[in-house]
Amino acid sequence: MIEKLRKQEKHLEETREQIQSGNRCSFHPTEEVKLCCKQCNMPVCSECCEEGHDGHPTTGLKKATQERRLTVQALINEGTNIMENYLSFLKGLGEKETTLNEKKQQTDNSIIQAYNQMVQKLTERKDHLLSKSGENHMENLDRIQTERDRVLADVNELSAACDQAEQELQQGWVEILSQQTALTEVVGKYREKAAPTPVQTQPAVFQPTDTPVPVLGHVRVQSLPSASIPAVPAPITAEPAPITAEPAPITVEPAPITAEPAPITAAPASSNDAARGTGHHHGNQTHQPQKVTFGESGSGTGQFSYPVGVTVSDEGEIFVADRENQRIQVFTLQGTFVRQFSTVVSGHHHHILPLQVPIQQRATSLAALRSLSGEKKIYPDDVAMDGEGNLWVVGRTRFAAYFAVQYNKLGEELRKFALQKTGWYKGVAVDTRRNHILITQATGDGENNLVLVFKPDGTLVRTVGQQQGTMHPCYITVDGEGNILVSDMRNNCVFVYNKDGQFLFQHEEAMGCYHGNTETAGRYQ
């Protein structure tokens, strides 16, 4: 019995040692794992080979382990590379997020800056209007005070005479007789004097603008480089199959502000670039050519009744002289209506005073102030922009008084000069190289049909086109080299002169022929 117990104890110890051993078979703990079944791809002992793996090809455990280690290591390396690529992608997302935050802050700052500038200009305009209103009010009060002082002096004289007469009346007959004579003179003086007339005052009235709210700017989308993942190494064909899916790159795009002159902006930057167009159809030449159609017949906002002149500012605003509606309308390059201004003529000497392209808020207030001086609307014939961004307008009043006037961006008159009364429409262009104002003149009698070249102060520099027999010069422009192009409605052609007014050639498109320097003419075909 004791011997049997010893054997059992010994067997338990051996079994315990076999279980603790890492190379013992899990199915046969007493057997050591020395082989690997190739078919089942698992470690086996000798008893396993006889039971469940009989006839299966086997190999040594050490050799199989080495082969498996190489495969696993390759998978580990591949997984590590994929993980590094994903981490790189995540890092790119973080950098993109930082860039987006910076762009967002820049965009917000630009919007706030544009808003502050607009508010500042509105505040300045408000102060200007309040100042004008205050000046008008003080003038009215001065008129009232002047009349009050004059009437009070008369009242004081009458009051003193009456008071003295009442005192003498109580003193005796002699004093009454003498005082009656003095009182009679004073009363007689004012009996014959005309009664005070009502004081004429002209209170200022504010007329708020009825045009749309000015555009602060536009938010446009700008693309950023996408955060992409580098190419993933080709997976090893051994099992298990590696993960090959890649996350799609995120293409979030920030929205930076595009600074554009908002309708309420400072005057545009001056441009003395000799290469830019200088006629009444010139403007910012950096825009890509495109066809835009806008407007229709009528008198409403964005409608036209005989549009006769167009010019474009460096900020990309289109100014259209709407003749029969007696106004100038402003549009974006896409044809969106921005604002409009009435063209008026001063009541003093019938000087033309169109509200030429000032900012929206100033136009109506200027019209209100001008109405106090009896100004009337005029019919603009044409409009052109000079090298400083100011506008020249030619037109006539209802009584056919013609003028050329220069205005700044606020619609305020800078200078003006009178033009000959002809009864025909006039065109205007500006030679920005020499700061000359070119105006067409048609008389209808076959004489004095030419182009007049003025200095800004109205001094006549020269005349152009009379020798070529122009019959009805109408529209005019100046190219980047200073050459003058004039359309003749009667001759159905375009006359071209150099910057000094010398004739170059005549282009008759209807007949397809050219006269003059054909080599030069070829540039304008």
Query: Per-residue pLDDT tens for 184-193?
Result: 888 888 887 8
Lowest mean pLDDT among 30-39, 119-128, 341-350, 512-521: 512-521
- 326 phi and psi, to 5 degrees? 55, 55
Query: Residues 432, 282: contact at Cβ < 8 Å?
Result: no
3-state secondary structure 425-436: CCCEEEECCCCE
Q: Residue 267 belongs to what H/E stretch?
A: none
Q: Per-residue b/e over 257-274, b at no fewer than 16 CB within 10 Å? A: beebbbbbbebbeebeee
Measured CA to CA, the distance from residue 135 to residue 149 in angstroms comes to 21
Residues 6+ apart with CB under 8 A from 345: 351, 352, 353, 375, 376, 377, 378, 397, 401, 403
Query: Residues 470, 489: contact at Cβ < 8 Å?
Result: no
Residues 6+ apart with CB under 8 A from 376: 344, 345, 347, 397, 398
pLDDT, residue 3, reads: 61
Measured CA to CA, the distance from residue 171 to residue 254 in angstroms comes to 101
pLDDT band at 438 (very low <50, low <70, confident <90, very high): very high
What is the average pLDDT across 24-35? 79
Q: Please tell me the CATH code under which domain 307-524 is placed.
A: 2.120.10.30
3-state secondary structure 187-238: HHHHHHCCCCCCCCCCCCCCCCCCCCCCCCCEECCCCCCCCCCCCCCCCCCC
Q: Residue 452, Cβ neighbours under 10 Å: how many? A: 21
Query: Residues 451, 439: contact at Cβ < 8 Å?
Result: yes
Lowest mean pLDDT among 220-234, 243-257, 324-338, 382-396: 243-257
Residue 476 in tokens: 């005019």
Task: Give 521's Cβ-side CA count (13 Å radius).
Answer: 17
Measured CA to CA, the distance from residue 247 to residue 244 in angstroms comes to 10
Query: Per-residue pLDDT tens for 192-249?
Result: 787 888 888 888 888 777 666 677 777 777 666 655 555 544 544 444 444 344 444 4
Instruction: Give, as one character, the DSSP assignment of residue 25.
Output: -
Residue 404 in tokens: 């050329």
Domain ranges within the chain, ordered by starting residue: 307-524
Query: Residues 463, 450: contact at Cβ < 8 Å?
Result: yes
In this prediction the pTM is 0.43
pLDDT band at 498 (very low <50, low <70, confident <90, very high): very high
Which of 263, 285, 21 shows the shortest CA–CA distance to 122? 263
Residue 144: pLDDT over 70: yes
Lowest mean pLDDT among 103-117, 359-373, 456-470: 359-373
Q: Are strands 317-322 and 327-332 parallel, antiparallel or unpaired?
A: antiparallel
What is the average pLDDT across 282-300? 72
User: Is residue 117 helix, strand or coil?
Assistant: helix
Residue 94 in tokens: 């973080």
Burial bucket for residue 193 (CB in 10 Å: 0-12, 13-18, 19+): exposed
Residue 19: pLDDT over 80: no
Q: Residue 441 belongs to what H/E stretch?
A: strand 436-441
Residues 6+ apart with CB under 8 A from 209: 339, 360, 361, 363, 364
Torsion of CA 391, 397, 401, 405, to 10 degrees: -10
Sign of the Cα torsion 187, 189, 192, 194 reads: negative
